[in-house]
Structure 1
């Protein structure tokens, strides 16, 4: 511990472990300043080889020796594991055999526990699996110290003196292998002999087949010659028949051709005749259609002329009605002016002037023929039947005064009620 800071650098296979002021637990670094109040130490991180001969015992209480070499070192890629290993090395400085005893104890303990759960036969026959189990269980225990098994070489299992189980088991396996080899040789020999016998049999069968095929080939050649002769003879006869057939076909074809041409000519003439007849009928029908079309067009033209005349007459009649209506409008307008705008006076004047009341009187007279009607006598405007002074308006006023008793008389005689626009009669 010094009064001034010191800069320290660890070697390639080492790290610095620093404790003291300002550091809560420990600090690990490759290079660092060592401040006043701090202390440091270097620890090696190189893997170390551990050689053991583990004495274990199987489930049958049979002892054996497991020679092994483990290469173990800190897990430098894991920060937590590195801290565990750094603390472990601090304890190791006090006792140099501490690390060796720790690793040996873990390996021997896990190997013995595993061997005690297996029979000797399982350990011997499953040596590879047994070694893997030992490796996994030892690694699990070393994790708590930040150590990692970089390599493990477990050698062949060795007998403990006085317990030569593996030797006897090896001899047994060798004898079984020798016997199996003898059996395999015998089986191979028998198989070889069987293959030779089979090959001889196959050869004999092939020779028989070849002889049979040779005889069949000779027979087939003879038959082929005969068949070929028959085929040639058949071809000759077929050609003769074909020649005769062609001759007969030529004769019949000539006769048939003449008859066919004759029939064709007759059919053509008949078709020509029917075509001409059809054309004549078609021409006649066309002429008749043209005549009917001309008649229809003439009738349509006549009807159109009549319709045009009627339309013209209607137009003129409508124009007359319009002129009459216009004249009547002027007439009514003049009357309204003459009567001082009195619509009732104008209406009564039109009824009287149009003979409406005279027509009513005539109808009533015809209706009461043969009856004994009640006679009413009424006078003019002045009571004497004569008009007084006042001109045209006085006459109209007199007529209007006579209208009420006249309507009452008509009602009494015929029960006729005049329209509301003429006047009303009170029921008695």
Structure 2
């Protein structure tokens, strides 16, 4: 403890200094007042000649900074500088004598300059709520005065002008109160007499008419657009239906072709078979024709040719014999005529000789004609005998020779058909070809009968023609 004794005075001094500092700090804090940004400090008391006072003021105004206030000698109070507003609802009469209720709002505050703050402090310090009623009274009077000099149309069209005039008229009074107007707005005009409503009716009617016209125009345009859209939709649907129909038709055609593929193949195969059978029938007809040629016609022609040759040979022999006899008779007559010339009866003998020669020549000519007729009669008789013996074979041969023409005549109606559809495939083709062949078969009996009658008539005519005629005798 003894070593601390020399430091005791220093410690006491430090304690005393700290106490004094604390006391001074507390006192300074108690006396130093700072103004907020939206308020003003009004310091009254011992302030004469101090900073912040102006000529004629017995108080001090402090804004935006601090100041010492000596307790007991000075008093400090605050004055708010914030905005305030007052609702206006004033009954006015226009220059036209029309009653109108004006509704508006005034936004005001205490001015920021020292004179405004001083005026407001003298009038409203401690009584700031009274500012709203004072401002209302000021603006009510000026608003009635200005509206009384304006018409209802001017008030409606020139609200800004009305607000500006009211602010200008109240500016001096507001300055005396230490107040400034930040904004004056006319919110609404009430018209108890209905003047504004009646004034607006023509315009409302015009606007309604234009609105109806515009609506009708828009409806018409919308209807036209809808009609165009419906037409385009109908066209698109029509095109789609056409395409679908075409696709369906193609599909049906493909299905029909597929369904007919088998019958068509059968018909094609059957057609080939019919063609081959037709070729075979033609070959058989040719064979029958060759057979008829070999077995019937050629032997008959050979026999007729032999008979005709024999008849011609016999005719030639008879003609030669007749000519020889006639020559002999003529020579004998000439000889007799020559011999009789020597006699007295030469004339009679000569006449008889000439008569005998003439008779001989006539007999020779008659014999020649008779031989030729006999030869032709024999040939016709041979053909008639051949026809009588093999009539059916000859008719069959002629039918075979003319069979292509008969089949072509039976199929003639099909030559004028441009397009023919055969149903039931190969069975339909078989029925069609069988019909043609059955028609040809129905023709054959009539043709055979006609050929048989023709042959009979031809034979009879040939037999009559072949009958020999006796030549006249000279």
TM range (shorter): 0.3 to 0.5
**TM-score in terms of structure 1 length:** 0.38
Greater RCO, CA 8 A, separation 6+ = 2
**TM-score, structure 2 as length reference:** 0.34
- Structure with larger Rg: 2
Whose helix proportion is higher, 1 or 2? 2
